[in-house]
Amino acid sequence: MSTSERLIESTRELLWERGYVGTSPKAILERAGAGQGSMYHHFKGKPDLALAAIRRTAEEMRAAAGKVLDGPGSAYERIEAYLRRERDVLRGCPVGRLTMDPDVVASDELRAPVDETLDWLRERIAGIVEEGKERGEFAPSLDGEEIAAAVVATVQGGYVLARASRSPAAFDAGVRGLLSLLAPRGRHAA
Amino acid sequence: MSTSERLIESTRELLWERGYVGTSPKAILERAGAGQGSMYHHFKGKPDLALAAIRRTAEEMRAAAGKVLDGPGSAYERIEAYLRRERDVLRGCPVGRLTMDPDVVASDELRAPVDETLDWLRERIAGIVEEGKERGEFAPSLDGEEIAAAVVATVQGGYVLARASRSPAAFDAGVRGLLSLLAPRGRHAA
């Protein structure tokens, strides 16, 4: 792996573990096994390197979510597959966690890939809810964008509950709760 | 306000804004207008002071949530009041945000008030859902603990969406989405 690659990958790991504020250039260089000069050779500084790292993490998240959301099955089944997809629950979301970072939220440039990814996710799920309404899976009164926001929020907030209790059980409970509310009418009474 | 009070209040503000990792003893002393010796006179150090600050923030959150959850109205209305209660959405949750802090999650002592508060909240809401089931407001198939986890996760994840987009709209959308799913049967078709 090239030095530039090692710097990006180390930054991604540290941003996930410790956030932007908690990640020093020194820690990145140590983890990457790189000298001080190499960061400034390849990147303008910590914000520039972090932007490359955040963009890559966002792309990966989008690809992984897209895979289950574009998969086979009914609208309900695809949303279920998204909610139940395997996750490293106790590590939290590498994209969503950045919203708790004051320096990321304060920077339009660093915040952009975070916002765009969560926005893309909500729009994708909203489209699936609308499909489900057309097929009669969901009540016509439901609003696709609102349900999508609730789905994404349940996942992001599920990480909060899981990390607070250091157990994935709370994440799973929230997902099951939302699915029981979203389940097509026939299943509800089952 | 006494020096000890000023230290606690400054720490609460900084933990909310910048998290534990992003809050230095120096920043606390500066905001509190206190000298270096005063922190060690009143507290054993940053973790001890942070614990006092987190405990107070957790107590306040519990009191504010309890007020609406114990209020008048049906089970649905009390959950709705909790979800819609006025919040400083773009600042996020001063308790939940600590779960993204590696040093808080790694410390059983600092994590305890966070875990206990979110746990208390989930149990309180689960009880209200069970009441609503008994009164025929909610389907008997719903699980109180699961619905409660979804409710709390929607709020915590709503902050993530709002901060990502720097607008409370996404928080509100998620809350409306969850409420439309939770609404008693009669309302659903309305």
What's residue A189's pLDDT?
39
Distance from CA of B3 to the nearest CA of A (A): 27
pLDDT of residue A129 exceeding 60, the answer is: yes
Does a structural domain hold residue B133?
yes
Query: HSE on the CB side for B157, CA within 13 Å?
Result: 33
What's residue B189's pLDDT?
39
For residues A14 and A27, the answer to whether their CB atoms sit within 8 Å is yes
- For B129, the token pair is 């859902």
The per-residue pLDDT for range B132-175, each reduced to its tens digit, is: 999 999 999 999 999 999 999 999 999 999 999 999 999 999 99
Contacts of A174 in chain B (CB under 8 A): 146, 149-150, 152-153
Contacts of A22 in chain B (CB under 8 A): 19, 21-22, 102
Alpha helices, DSSP H, located in chain A: 3-18, 25-32, 36-42, 46-69, 75-84, 102-106, 108-134, 144-165, 169-182, 185-188
What's residue B188's pLDDT?
45
Mean pLDDT, residues B90-112 taken together: 97
What's residue A27's pLDDT?
97
Measured distance between the N- and C-terminal CA atoms of chain A, rounded to whole angstroms: 53
What's residue A184's pLDDT?
81
CATH number assigned to the domain comprising residue B160: 1.10.357.10
What's residue A188's pLDDT?
45
Mean pLDDT, residues A162-181 taken together: 98
ipTM, 2 dp:
0.95
Does a structural domain hold residue B88?
yes
What's residue A186's pLDDT?
52
CA angle centred on B73, ends B67 and B77, rounded to 5°:
85
Does a structural domain hold residue A98?
yes
The per-residue pLDDT for range B117-138, each reduced to its tens digit, is: 999 999 999 999 999 999 999 9
Residue % of chain B over a pLDDT of 90 = 94
Q: How many CB pairs under 8 A join A and B?
A: 212
Does a structural domain hold residue A137?
yes
Mutate to test the interface with A, among B79, B105, B163 (most CBs of A within 10 A): B163
Total domains, chain B: 1
Does a structural domain hold residue A47?
no
Does a structural domain hold residue A88?
yes
pLDDT of residue B59 exceeding 50, the answer is: yes
Distance CA B46, CA B14 (A): 12
Distance CA A20, CA A11 (A): 9
Q: Search chain A and give the residue with CA nearest B170.
A: A149
pLDDT of residue A168 exceeding 90, the answer is: yes
Q: List the domain range (segments joined by +) for residue B92.
A: 54-188
What's residue B190's pLDDT?
35
pLDDT of residue B22 exceeding 80, the answer is: yes
Alpha-carbon Rg for chain B in angstroms: 19
Q: CB-CB: which of A148, A157, A190 is closest to B155?
A: A157
Does a structural domain hold residue A105?
yes
Distance CA A132, CA B55 (A): 45
Does a structural domain hold residue B36?
no
Mean pLDDT, residues B6-12 taken together: 98
Mutate to test the interface with B, among A17, A146, A175 (most CBs of B within 10 A): A146
Contacts of B141 in chain A (CB under 8 A): 180, 188-190
Task: Count the Cβ atoms, other than its own, within 10 Å of residue B45.
Answer: 10
Q: Search chain B and give the residue with CA nearest A91.
A: B100
Q: Search chain A and give the residue with CA nearest B20.
A: A22
What's residue A127's pLDDT?
98
Mutate to test the interface with B, among A13, A15, A100, A115 (most CBs of B within 10 A): A100
Contacts of A165 in chain B (CB under 8 A): 115, 118-119
For residues A8 and A46, the answer to whether their CB atoms sit within 8 Å is no
